[in-house]
Amino acid sequence: MTSVSLQNFGCRVNQAEAFEWAEEFQRRGLRLEPDAGRSDLVVINTCTLTGRADRDVRKFLAKVGRENPGARLVVTGCFSDRAPAELAGIPNLILVANADKARLVGITLGPETGAAARPPVRFRSRGLLKVQDGCDSRCTFCVIPSVRGRSRSVPPRELGERMETLARQGFNEVVLTGIHLNSYGRDLQPASSLLGLLRGMEGRIGRMRLRLSSLDPRGLDPELAEFLACSSFVQPHFHLSLQHGSDRVLARMGRKSTVDEYSRILDGLRRLAPEACLGADIMSGFPGESEEDFRATADLIRRSPLNYVHVFSYSARPGTAASAWPAIDPASVRRRTAFLRSLAAVKYAEFRRSFIGKTLDAVVIRTDGRRAELLTANDIKARTDDPGSLVPGDAARVVLEAVEERLARGRIAA
């Protein structure tokens, strides 16, 4: 066995886990193979957040079975934890529970033999670091606490060592991930916090910049919000799991938040960081959602300083409280979702157009020598036709010249 293909579904936490596995597999002598159809070993990190996520996993497993029947399969993640019986009978399969993910490479390959390591190849253009796993909240729609367990934080010393390694490897940006990032440190002895973690990293990571994955507004107190918005090493891109724009629906979701609280948080971030990208998750079609609730959500998107919104339709998850409640007519859900997405598209286009002519810090995501795709500090995806000698992971400055449907267009600043 000489090659491994790492296939991810779902969240940034899964991506961060695969990021670490990529290094370890290479250290054990395996070559990274992007094509699962040609790899000796295929590791699949699954998701079960929605019904669509489940379908995507099943479809990919079937594809690997057709195209690479002799491959050894390692399946892990939330789908396999929730529905292991669905995987029974798949040949050449190793099933690794979420609780055992830290030992996945050892479970797959056995004890280390001292074989010579391969020169590492970057799995991603940006570093990823999982600082926390699990969730203690019990939102009525969410299955994740049952498959990820309670909130667990990685000790600060371990994270500091990992950050120093990423800095030595030359990463210009690292994404901090967690299932419930705001709860970082509550389970540690002595207790800590996300703010404490970030303050401890300040000044220790050199030129490297941090980008945070999704934040729960319920844990975004004024002190943390001010630190994030004013920090020189945290990228000005903040994604909040708002979920809805109706207080009635938020209460049914078990969110313990109000739209007024959301508005104060968003307005405060915008005041402190006027050029930051503010994003949110918004769910459409939650059981019991009325037309009035839907209009309240549309109003929140319109009047708030949000710049982009990830709108997704409610998906009943087995074992959750909401899965037992009467569902909304599917046609109404599709209509509402499409309308909210149209509002979100307008706001994101307006945000990107506001930076035409401006020079922005960015990191190179991919390049083929003729053109490059970049991600700006404030989350604008751009392409340039003059990449020069830039390679993925490089820091760059890009002047935005136009906005297209998927990407902005720009040139590398002199």
Q: Which domains, ranges and CATH numbers included, belong to the chain?
A: 3-109 (3.40.50.12160), 127-349 (3.80.30.20), 359-412 (2.40.50.140)
Verdict on whether the full-model pTM lies above 0.75: yes
The pLDDT of residue 204: 80
Q: Mean of the pLDDT values across residues 119-142?
A: 88
Q: Does position 58 have pLDDT exceeding 60, yes or no?
A: yes
What's the token pair of residue 319? 């074992």
User: How far is residue 389's CA from residue 378's CA, in Å, rounded to a whole number?
Assistant: 24
Q: With 60 as the cut, is the pLDDT of residue 119 above it?
A: no
Phi, psi of 87 (to 5 degrees): -95, -5
The residues near 284 (Cβ < 8 Å, ≥ 6 apart) are 294, 297, 311, 312, 313, 314, 333, 336, 337, 340
Mean pLDDT of 107-118: 75
What is the predicted pLDDT for the residue at 202? Answer: 86
Cα gap 337→172, rounded to integer Å: 36
Predicted confidence band of residue 123 (pLDDT cuts 50, 70, 90): confident
| 308-313, strands of its sheet edge to edge | 237-243, 277-284, 308-313
Express the helix, strand and coil content of the chain in percent, nearest 5 each: 40, 25, 40
How large is the average pLDDT for residues 270-297?
98
| Mean predicted confidence (pLDDT) in 392-401 | 96
Segment 381-394 shows an average pLDDT of 93
| pLDDT single digits (tens) 156-165 | 999 999 998 8
pLDDT-based confidence at residue 398 (cuts at 50, 70, 90): very high
> What's the pLDDT at 112?
76
pLDDT tops 70 at residue 117: no
User: Residue range 24-50: average pLDDT?
Assistant: 95
Q: Is the pLDDT of residue 75 over 90?
A: yes
Quick one: average pLDDT of 342-348? 97
Measure the CA–CA gap between 351 and 70, rounded to whole angstroms: 48
Cis ω for the linkage preceding 190 (within 30 of 0): yes
Of 342, 341, 348, residue with least CA distance to 311: 341
Mode of pairing for the β-strands spanning 408-412 and 381-384: parallel
Residue 121 in this model has a pLDDT that exceeds 80:
no
Measured CA to CA, the distance from residue 26 to residue 95 in angstroms comes to 21
**Averaged pLDDT, 306-333:** 97
Task: Return the H-helix or E-strand segment holding 1.
Answer: none
pLDDT at 79: 95
- C-alpha to C-alpha distances, 151 to 81, 87, 144, nearest whole angstrom: 17, 27, 11
CA distance 148 to 99: 8
Q: What is the predicted pLDDT for the residue at 340?
A: 99
Q: How far apart are CA 210 and CA 201, in angstroms?
A: 10
> For residues 135 and 254, what is the distance between their CA atoms, to the nearest angstrom?
14
